[in-house]
Amino acid sequence: HLKKMLPKRLVVGLISLCLMIRCTSGNERCGASIRGACPLAWSQWGDKCYKQLSENLPWAEANQECIKMGSVLVMPQSQEETEYLVKNMIYYFWINCSDLQVEGTWVCQDGTTGVEYRNWRDGEPNNGGGREDCAAAGESGWNDVPCDDLSPVICQRPAPQLHF
Ligand SMILES: *[C@@H]1O[C@H](CO)[C@@H](O)[C@H](O)[C@H]1NC(C)=O
Ligand SMILES: [Ca+2]
Ligand SMILES: [Ca+2]
């Protein structure tokens, strides 16, 4: 009886252990096979998945490229999220925040939801040269810069929901 039970439990145990180790070490191969994890090549933090594009783009184009991948331009909602992105993705990146519609009125959106969180660097936003209407985030906070600057792009999408 024991002889019959042991290998099965051992195999199941080893598989779960393997998946756990590979997922926590950020290996992408396990991601697709586990519900609740991000798709292949996307990084996970909490309930969000992120991917950096291979080229730097102007702000408006950045979102177009994200949309093509079924995602939107990143919009961190806390200092913790920003730190994760700075440390694990790139030190500087566009965020979905602009005052294009009304100068001085900043609209930040996480998907379709408005975001109140702000993290401007000292002296920013300063609308430098009268033409800084898009925001980029970095280690020391946000800066408004010209929207046609070429900056790194991180796309975000919600992590798949767990269904048991
Ligand atoms: C910001 O987010 C909104 C809502 O998802 C979207 O319509 C808009 O195109 C985004 N802009 C950029 C540049 O990502
Ligand atoms: Ca402005
Ligand atoms: Ca500025």
Q: Which residues line ligand 1 (CB under 6 A)?
A: 59-60, 62-63, 72-73, 96, 109, 111-112
Domain count, the chain: 2
Tell me, yes or no, whether 29 and 51 share the same domain: no
Taking only the tens place, the pLDDT of each residue in 73-119 is 999 999 999 999 999 999 999 999 999 999 999 999 998 899 999 99
pLDDT at 164: 53
Domain that holds residue 42: 37-158
Other beta carbons less than 10 A from residue 22's beta carbon: 16
Is cis: bond before 76, omega within 30 of 0? no
pLDDT at 158: 94
> For residue 81, is it within any domain?
yes
Tell me, yes or no, whether 145 and 110 share the same domain: yes
Position 1 pLDDT exceeds 90? no
Closest CA to ligand 1's atom 1: 96
> For residue 164, is it within any domain?
no
The residue whose two tokens read 């177009």 is: 64
pLDDT at 33: 44
Strands (E) in the chain, as ranges, are 43-45, 48-52, 72-73, 92-98, 107-110, 113-114, 134-138, 141-145, 154-158
Pocket mutation for ligand 1, best pick of 50, 67, 94, 96 (most atoms within 8 Å of C-beta)? 96
Tell me, yes or no, whether 26 and 81 share the same domain: no
Closest CA to ligand 1's atom 9: 63
pLDDT at 37: 86
> For residue 5, is it within any domain?
yes
Q: Distance between CA 62 and CA 96 in Å, rounded?
A: 10
Tell me, yes or no, whether 67 and 119 share the same domain: yes
